[in-house]
Amino acid sequence: MEEKIRIMVVDDHEIFRKGLVMIINKLKYATVVAEATNGQEFLDKLAVQETDLVFIDIEMPVMNGIEATRKAMELKPGLKMIALSMFGEDAYLHQMIDAGVSGFLLKNINKEGLDRAIRCVMEGRNYYSEELMAIFARKYAEPEKKNDPDAELTKRELEVLQLIAEGLTDQEIADKIFLSIRTINWHRANLISKTGSKNTVNLITYAIKNNLVKL
């Protein structure tokens, strides 16, 4: 029998948190190992509780989800995290991407959407609620002007960027478009350089802001 995915739920709204825990525990392959009501409580529990995936609220008392996510990723770099969001909290989305989350879910998520999100993130890909990404795309509908002509991306670079945004690994991208992994590594480095990004997370944020990818 395969081990279940160990999940922690971090949210200060008890009714929502308990409801999410109940839904997760109905999934045959997952189990909730801990709950927390704020970022600091989450970090304290994370230090002693083996956890594979965390659902974390953005706005919480004591320590918010952005700071808690940053600290959690420093503590456990391989941890998978999904941000929980309400409509109107889209201003925080790029901050949560920068902090290290692998996905976003609206709090009106159903069991099917929850199942898709868990499977997707645990497979190493990104998952974004379609409603949230629509909001995010509209917010940044006007692309940032690029003063440097060298910043223009080639058709191949845009293709690679789309696959990066979908959460594929370099090897998966190489296999999909029939290029060597060395070439994909080169494209990724070029993309980061051309967009002035610090890392892949910043690159994805840039791509979303500038309508360079479809999610």
Element (H, E) at 33: strand 30-36
Tokens of 152: 């223009």
Q: How many domains does the chain have?
A: 2
Are 156 and 197 members of one domain?
yes
Are 128 and 163 members of one domain?
no
CA 102 to chain centre: 2
Are 45 and 126 members of one domain?
yes
What is residue 209's DSSP assignment?
Answer: H
Cα separations in angstroms, 95 against 168, 185, 201: 21, 25, 10
Q: Are 165 and 207 in contact (CB under 8 A)?
A: yes
Are 125 and 166 members of one domain?
no
Phi, psi of 114 (to 5 degrees): -65, -45
Beta-bridge partners for 5: 30
* Nearest alpha-carbon partner for 9 in 56, 75, 72, 41: 56
Give the Cα separation of 157 and 76 in Å (integer): 31
For the question of whether the overall pTM of this predicted structure is more than 0.85, the answer is no
- Does 144 fall in a domain? no
Domain boundary at 139, 165, 186, which? Answer: 139
Are 115 and 34 members of one domain?
yes
- Does 39 fall in a domain? yes
CA 48 to chain centre: 24
Domain boundary at 96, 118, 139, which? Answer: 139
| Residue 42 belongs to domain with CATH number | 3.40.50.2300
Domain span at 86: 5-139
Tokens of 45: 């529990």
Are 81 and 118 members of one domain?
yes
Are 128 and 81 members of one domain?
yes
Concatenated DSSP letters of 127-187? EE-HHHHHHHHHHT-SPPP---GGGPPPHHHHHHHHHHHTT--HHHHHHHHT--HHHHHHH
| Residue 197 belongs to domain with CATH number | 1.10.10.10
Are 84 and 154 members of one domain?
no
Phi, psi of 155 (to 5 degrees): -60, -40
Q: What is the pLDDT along the chain (215 residues), one digit of tens a residue?
A: 568 999 999 999 999 999 999 999 999 999 999 999 999 999 999 999 999 999 999 889 999 989 999 999 999 988 999 999 875 555 677 778 778 888 888 888 888 889 989 998 898 777 877 666 666 555 544 444 444 434 588 899 999 999 888 777 788 889 999 988 889 889 888 898 888 877 776 787 788 778 888 76
pLDDT at 42: 96
Domain boundary at 107, 139, 171, which? Answer: 139
- Does 214 fall in a domain? no
